[in-house]
Amino acid sequence: MKPNTSGSCLCGAVKFEVSGPFERFFLCHCSRCRKDTGSAHAANLFSTMAKITWLSGQDKIRTYRLPGTRHEKSFCAECGSALPGVHQDGGHIVVPAGSLDGPVGIRPSAHICLASRAEWDAELEDAPKIDGLP
């Protein structure tokens, strides 16, 4: 059994713990996930076995469900940080990798929806790398 993994939002109002293993780690490039994150892709962990325990701030969690789709996003009402959610079907949890306070423990399983990635999201390994702010 994987040890518990803790996480929180940016402002610290919401804190949680995930107990159990992550089964998949997807980097999703679909337009919905790009809108959710404001970035090139969403980095989400998936599990059908893990459980979330909310340690604080559960009343600050909001969930947006895109009508007519399975797409949903949970976030902190105070700072807007992405937070874990239990999918509508109740069969699995989705945890934004960036919401965890420590190591993720697994490597990404795959880039998904790559056909719809942003045009600027190609050959990024060639971009200059700077430790810190420019």
Looking up residue 77, the CATH number of its domain turns out to be: 2.170.150.70
Give the integer Cα–Cα distance in Å for 32 and 42.
9
Pairing of strands 24-28, 110-112: parallel
Count of the separate structural domains present in the chain = 1
Read off the tokens for 101.
């306070």
SS3 73: strand
3-state class of 125 per DSSP? helix
How many C-alpha atoms does 55 have within 13 Å on its Cβ side?
A: 14
Reported confidence tier of residue 12, pLDDT bands at 50, 70, 90: very high
What is the mean predicted confidence (pLDDT) over 53-58?
97
Would residue 113 count as lying in a domain? Answer: yes
Q: What is the mean pLDDT of the chain?
A: 92
**Residue 3: its pLDDT value, please?**
64
Tell me if 106 is assigned to some domain: yes
- Domain interval for residue 39: 5-118
